[in-house]
Amino acid sequence: MKLLVITQKANENDPILGFFCRWIVEFAGHFESVKVLCLEEGAHAFPANVTVSSLGKEKGTSRASQLAHFYRYIWQERKNYDAVFIHMNPIYAVFGGWFWKISNKKVALWYTHKAVDAKLRIAERFVDVIFTAANESFTLKTPKKRVVGHGIDVGRYASAKRVKEMGSEPISIVSVGRITPIKDCGTLIEAVRILKGKWDKRFTVKFIGSPATSSDKEYAVKVKGLVEKYDLKNIVSFIGDVKPVNMPVEYSRADITVNLTPTGGIDKAVLESMAAGVPALTSNVAFKGYFDQARPGLSDKLIFEHGDAEDLAGKIITVFSGDLLSVGRDLQKAAMEKSDLPNLVAKISDDMMKI
């Protein structure tokens, strides 16, 4: 079977979407050929049976030109693919779904966001299957939904040698993700204020990621304003984006990570932390099964109430009263069993071939 993959970016250096290049490499091992149609193209190194075409956003092409290129491509290449895999962009199923239906192409959508809008509802009618990471990450009711978990390159994170001895002071707490309101960075700042006044350990907090939109940038100003207000400049730092290739080293420098998003999809930053053997605290209860598979009852220690700085601060203190290395090893094993990328892509590929 020949596959057409449609995604936003084919750029292994992109801090947000660079991970998807590894998905494409894995797909190449399951399909005769893989054609990638992306909105924006950057650095990549794919197997010989993968070809990439861009809609031209990196060149500044207009949206009208991008849409024209999209239609021209799916028509001209129609004999060179049998199935379509759309990553996180239901609008392409809206634009191309009718053509793929009359062309008898099988169409799959990967979608992990609890929001449901008109685009998603229309896309659902055109696709044959919708893959998602967890029940919480796709809330539209449809028999086409397939919960398959999430996938990361576990070995890449597990193999990174630790830069510091876990638990040695100053303790390193890291939060990975875009600086945006849904990531709730302010709650971590409030927890730092609480910890500074009641914890007897030296610690630092590092935010990895940057704001993307104008509203994100306004939010970043407010978050940094809290750091100034509480005089936390010697504890809290914002280092901006880090290339995906360098993230294993960043995790190897951390003692714990904190993920502050509300319950929804399976945030891969938590999975990356687990794969690196670094305990992750999160307010996303979708990880309960992951944590309790690692060790029964562990979710009670690692999941805090969303937006509750007091609860978060208390959970951080509790985690450091235990054996971080042992917890990290158990989490790493669970990540390998539940979320290793080759297993996920194999599962998706098999399901697509059975449609």
- State how many domains the chain has: 2
Measured N-to-C along each axis, helices 20-28 and 341-354 cross at an angle, to the nearest 10 degrees, of: 60
pLDDT in tens, 77-113: 999 999 999 999 999 999 999 999 999 999 999 999 8
- Return the number of other C-beta atoms located less than 10 Å from residue 132's C-beta: 24
Query: Is 342:152 a contact under the CB 8 Å cutoff?
Result: no
Report which of 62, 256, 44 is spatially closest to residue 70, judged by C-alpha positions.
62
- Distances in Å between the Cα of 273 and the Cα atoms of 187, 268, 300, 319 are 20, 9, 18, 15
Claim to verify: residue 133 and residue 13 sit in the same structural domain = yes
Determine the structural domain holding residue 25 and report its residue range.
Answer: 2-151+340-354
Claim to verify: residue 174 and residue 298 sit in the same structural domain = yes
CATH number of the domain to which 94 belongs: 3.40.50.2000
Claim to verify: residue 132 and residue 17 sit in the same structural domain = yes
Claim to verify: residue 37 and residue 142 sit in the same structural domain = yes
Claim to verify: residue 232 and residue 285 sit in the same structural domain = yes
Claim to verify: residue 92 and residue 184 sit in the same structural domain = no
Claim to verify: residue 202 and residue 237 sit in the same structural domain = yes
User: Cis (ω within 30 of 0) for the bond into 342?
Assistant: no
SS3 of residue 327 by DSSP: helix
Instruction: Please state, in angstroms and rounded to a whole number, the distance separating the CA atoms of residues 134 and 74.
Output: 30
Claim to verify: residue 195 and residue 147 sit in the same structural domain = no
Claim to verify: residue 102 and residue 206 sit in the same structural domain = no
Whether pTM exceeds 0.85 = yes
Query: Is 66:56 a contact under the CB 8 Å cutoff?
Result: yes
pLDDT in tens, 27-66: 999 999 999 999 999 999 999 999 999 999 999 999 999 9
Claim to verify: residue 144 and residue 213 sit in the same structural domain = no
Claim to verify: residue 24 and residue 37 sit in the same structural domain = yes
* Number of helical H runs and strand E runs in the chain: 14, 12
88-102, 109-123, 158-172: least confidently modelled range: 158-172
Claim to verify: residue 315 and residue 346 sit in the same structural domain = no
